[in-house]
Amino acid sequence: MQAKSILQGNMPEFVQHNSFTINTSSETVGITAYPWGYPLIIAPVYAVAGLDFIALKLPALLFYAGFLVCLFMLMRRKLDRAESLLILALFAFNPTYLKFLDQILSDIPFLFFSTLALLLMDVYEQDHQAAFAWALGPVIFMAFFIRTTGVLLLAAFSIDPVIRIIRPRNDRSSTRDAMQSTLVVWFTFGTLALISALVFPGSSQSYIADFVNFSVGTFLNNLSGYFQLFGSFFGTDPASTLVYYFAFVCFVFGLWLRRRDDAVFMIYFFLTLASLVIWPFFQGIRLILPLLPLFVYFALQGLSFAVGRLAWKRHDVGRVIFYGFWLLVILFFFATSTVYAYTNLHNDRQIPGPFDEYSLRTYEFIRNETPADSVIIFFKPRVMHLMTDRDTFESTKCQPMLLGDYIVFVKGPSKYRQIPAGMIGMCHLDLQWVFENEGFVAYRIQK
């Protein structure tokens, strides 16, 4: 909807209509406006192809290819060619990432820009060329423009000069250069952020307001949940879990070994992780996708050092252990992803949900048979609004339903965010049946 509003030039109107959906719904279904970077990316695709699944997935595929290039270039600066290719293969064939490419979401573009930002930080740290500082500001802005937590990249880069200042016996010349480059990055980032704030409307909601839901229990649950989610990179079966625990030990060891040389990576990793565990709502694996390359990198560094120490008399044995471990993981990833791809093709890429036959016929009825100013009650309000241009909200309570003109029920088990159709009588509404198919039934609310 945000991409559509960009093309139609009615972004404030979108915010107004979506605010109605968000503020009227019984449960939180999102915020009034997400960062505009990803809608801007897919707007040209929507202009050409409309709501076409394959077309709308193409930008993420291109950004994922760009992420793999940036990842290899970053790893090549830290590791030898063979180790860099190992990490590249781990992500090129990883089932979690490849399955996630089915989602038309902002996470993969953010993954690209965050990785590119880390690459530019490392290049600048080594070469101290001003051009990289000027390039870093726009890249961090694009990450921020796609997801608000992209600002943590700016924080991570800015903390390094502070460490230089407080560190004893610091090199004053390098400290001065670091401060100047930080100012350059802040200037370019701030300029672009100001321009975007003037062009694109913001959300009427504040992220800070959500912290009223924070509790110690939420923090502990998030900490445990994200610890387990890192393991899903390797899989969810018992063998994969053991691999993850082993990799986690190597990760901790790698952090200690690289604490000086890769400080900016560690700062960004833990700033992002801290923002996730203190957030009152558990978000799932999509928000740690940018952290997993760093996790694997530090784990590889720890394992490489440990194997080198254990097999210092038999270097060939150490190499077999090291490469054998990672190659087995890669082969498992490749086999699993191949099975997923075969199954998807065998099922003719069928996707249940808002684009199935029953849903499309329901949208068509709402578009063609209801007044343009009608208010629809539906368990997926933003989908209904996108497909019908009708104001929509979701309600599991009786009183707000008086604000609606039509109510659409999903048939089947009561697992959706709606009052079951068979229990709607307790709301004492005067309902007139107007539409029904195998998946949905719709009523007009008589007033």
Q: For position 310, what pLDDT does the model report?
A: 67
Residues of the chain above pLDDT 90, percent: 63
Q: Are 322 and 304 in contact (CB under 8 A)?
A: yes
> What is the mean pLDDT of the segment spanning 310-328?
76
Question: Residue ranges per domain, the chain?
Answer: 34-346, 357-445
- Tell me whether residue 399 is exposed, middle or buried, using C-beta atoms within 10 angstroms of its C-beta: 0 to 12, 13 to 18, 19 or more: exposed
CA distance 297 to 250: 10
Considering the chain, what is the average pLDDT of its residues? Answer: 89
Q: What is the pLDDT of residues 153-198, one digit of tens each?
A: 999 999 877 776 666 555 666 667 778 888 999 999 999 999 999 9
Q: Of 95, 101, 122, 100, give the one whose Cα is nearest residue 59.
A: 101
Q: For position 71, what pLDDT does the model report?
A: 98
Q: Are 411 and 372 in contact (CB under 8 A)?
A: no
Q: How many CB atoms lie within 10 A of CB 301?
A: 23
Q: Which two tokens stand for residue 382?
A: 């933003």
Q: Does 312 score more than 60 pLDDT?
A: no
CA distance 1 to 12: 12
The pTM of the full predicted model, rounded to 2 decimals, is 0.91
Weakest mean pLDDT among 115-129, 241-255, 340-354, 368-382:
340-354
Q: Which helix (H) or strand (E) holds 431?
A: strand 431-436
- Residue 41 corresponds to which amino acid? I
> What is the mean pLDDT of the segment spanning 118-126?
90
CA distance 289 to 311: 33
pLDDT category at 257 given cuts 50, 70, 90 is very high
Q: For position 215, what pLDDT does the model report?
A: 78
CA distance 421 to 43: 37
Q: What is the pLDDT of residues 5-45, one digit of tens each?
A: 999 999 999 999 999 999 999 887 788 899 999 999 999 99
Q: Are 229 and 288 in contact (CB under 8 A)?
A: yes
Q: What is the pLDDT of residues 271-288, one digit of tens each?
A: 999 999 988 888 889 999
Dihedral of the CA atoms 325, 113, 101, 439 (nearest 10)? Answer: 140
Q: Which residue has the higher pLDDT, 26 or 368?
A: 368
pLDDT category at 265 given cuts 50, 70, 90 is very high
Q: Does 103 score more than 70 pLDDT?
A: yes
Q: For position 168, what pLDDT does the model report?
A: 55
Weakest mean pLDDT among 70-74, 225-229, 350-354:
350-354
CA distance 289 to 47: 29
Q: For position 205, what pLDDT does the model report?
A: 58
CA distance 362 to 387: 10
Q: Which residue has the higher pLDDT, 175 or 335?
A: 335
3-state secondary structure of 286: helix
Q: For position 209, what pLDDT does the model report?
A: 61
Q: Does 84 score more than 60 pLDDT?
A: yes
Q: Which helix (H) or strand (E) holds 407?
A: strand 406-410
Runs of H (alpha helix) within 93-171: 95-100, 107-127, 130-146, 151-166
> What is the mean pLDDT of the segment spanning 47-57?
92
Weakest mean pLDDT among 182-196, 207-221, 280-294, 362-376:
207-221
Q: For position 130, what pLDDT does the model report?
A: 75
Q: Which residue has the higher pLDDT, 172 or 1?
A: 1
Q: Does 212 score more than 70 pLDDT?
A: no
Weakest mean pLDDT among 108-117, 221-230, 341-350:
341-350
User: How big is the chain by its Cα radius of gyration, in Å?
Assistant: 25
